[in-house]
Each structure stands twice: as structure tokens, then as C-alpha cells.
A and B are shown apart, each in its own frame.
Chain A
Amino acid sequence: AQSVTQLGSHVSVSEGALVLLRCNYSSSVPPYLFWYVQYPNQGLQLLLKYTTGATLVKGINGFEAEFKKSETSFHLTKPSAHMSDAAEYFCAVSLNTDKLIFGTGTRLQVFP
């Protein structure tokens, strides 16, 4: 069965610092991987996705993630945090079925 583990329910960084949110997946076959962001009182918005091809995926708002099959990881990074990045981030996996399996989320705080 497929699953997703997000390490760290809360991450705090200073404005301008590197953002690193960790995601590891479990899947018997190559999965599709996603990162979503949720701002307060809003639904989820897709940041980026990996389906096939290039393992380094660039998304919106300066975020990117790298699919590492050997490490079963799909960590999300951003070189320089901005105050507006404060939100909850969800990693998700799919096996081309009709549902996404989400991780438990990581709340990112950005301090001035």
C-alpha cells in the first residue's frame, strides 16, 4: 500500500533562510508525487507535481522538489523564505488511481 510520511509537523525559519520540508513515500511502483499548500481558511493549492521525466521539479512561488527514487524521498525546498510562505504544506502520492494519499502536513512559520 502506498503511504506518505512528512517529517516534522512544524518548521520555523527566518525570512531569507532556506526552506526544507521533508517527504518520504512508500510505494511498490513508481508513484506520482505532489506538494500542495494550504493557507488559513482556504482549500489546497498545487505547488508542484512529479509524474515522469526530470526528477527536479520546479513549482510556483519559487519552490522546487527533487524525486529521489533511491531514497524514496520528495523533499520540498525554497532558497529564501518569505513571510507570505507561512502556511501548511502537504505531500501526496498517487498511483494513477482516483485518489491522492496525503501526508499529515507540515506547518511552516516564517519569522522576520
Chain B
Amino acid sequence: KAGVTQTPRYLIKTRGQQVTLSCSPISGHRSVSWYQQTPGQGLQFLFEYFSETQRNKGNFPGRFSGRQFSNSRSEMNVSTLELGDSALYLCASTRTSGNTGELFFGEGSRLTVL
């Protein structure tokens, strides 16, 4: 059974650009969550999607957005990149919405903003 797949694994952008990250959940999983991981702030929740609907959102500016497709694949977008957006972006999936179960994480997309 394939795990959570995130692409690209590494990318470098410059300030002001935008970026789109992709996440393919484990087959059969309908909930996808996104987290930002930085050395200073740790793991911060971005948002969670279930059946193409955003069910919860963290405290990030509107430059951070996401969506989920009918096949449960998810994308997140960051517009007008800032230096502080440099981070490891982690995607996690689970079968149902609600965290009484296990989140399965991908290996992350490491974004560097110059």
C-alpha cells in the first residue's frame, strides 16, 4: 500500500513568487491535512480537507490556500512568497475526519525562499 506522496520534495523560489505543492493521500483516505514545520515555530497546522471541503483552518494569512480534488488529492498554494515561508510543508492523510485516529505523514516538501 503506497504511502502519502508529496511533490516536489525540494524547491527554491524567490520572494514575491508563488508556489503550489501537491499531496496524494493513501488510497481510501479522504481527509488531508497540511502542516508547516520550521525550527522556530515547530509544527503549525495550516488546514484540513475532507471530501473536497475545508473543515478546519489554522492561523495563517490568506496567502496560504488549499484545495482538494474528487480523488482526495490535495494541493496547497502560497502566493507572494516571503522569506519566512521557508519551511518543510508536511501533508498527512487519514481515513475519516476527526483526529481520534492516526495521521499518516508524507516526507514533506522543503521550500526555500531566497
Known contacts A41-B107, A46-B102; is A98 also within 8 Å of B31 by CB?
yes
Which residues of B are in contact with A by a Cβ distance under 8 Å?
A: 4, 31, 33, 35, 42-43, 45, 48, 50, 55-56, 58, 90, 92, 97-100, 102-103, 105-108
Residue of B nearest to A51 (CB): B100
How big is chain A's contact interface, by range?
A: 20 to 34
Instruction: Give how many A-B residue pairs fall within 8 Å (CB-CB).
Output: 58
Cβ of A60 to closest chain B Cβ, rounded Å: 11
Partner of A49 from the list B33, B35, B102 (CB cut-off 8 Å) is: B102
A-B contact pairs, 29 of them (CB 8 A): A43-B4, A43-B105, A44-B90, A44-B92, A44-B105, A45-B105, A46-B103, A49-B102, A51-B100, A90-B42, A94-B99, A94-B100, A96-B98, A96-B99, A97-B98, A98-B31, A98-B48, A98-B55, A98-B56, A98-B98, A99-B45, A99-B48, A99-B56, A99-B99, A100-B33, A100-B99, A100-B103, A102-B43, A105-B43
* Residue of A41, A42, A49, A98 with highest tally of chain B CB at under 10 A: A98
Q: How far is the CB of B33 from chain A (nearest CB, A)?
A: 7
Q: CA of A101 to CA of B33 in the docked complex: distance in angstroms?
A: 12
Bound Cα distance from A50 to B78, whole angstroms: 34
The 5 closest A-B pairs by CB, nearest first: A43-B105, A102-B43, A94-B99, A98-B56, A104-B42
Contact A32 B106 (CB under 8 A): no
B52 to chain A, nearest CB (A): 14
Q: Within the complex, which residue of B43, B48, B107 is in contact with A90, where a contact is CB–CB below 8 Å?
A: B43
Bound form: Cα–Cα A96–B97 in Å: 9
- A43 CB to closest chain B CB (Å) equals 3
Selected contact of A98 from candidates B33, B42, B105, CB within 8 Å: B33
Residue of A32, A46, A90, A99 touching B100 (CB-CB under 8 A): A32
Contact B108 A43 (CB under 8 A): yes
CB distance from A100 to the nearest CB of B (A): 6
Bound complex: CA of A94 vs CA of B97, how far in Å? 12
User: Known pairs A44-B90, A90-B43, A104-B42. 9 more at Cβ < 8 A?
Assistant: A32-B100, A43-B4, A43-B90, A46-B102, A98-B97, A98-B98, A99-B99, A100-B45, A105-B42
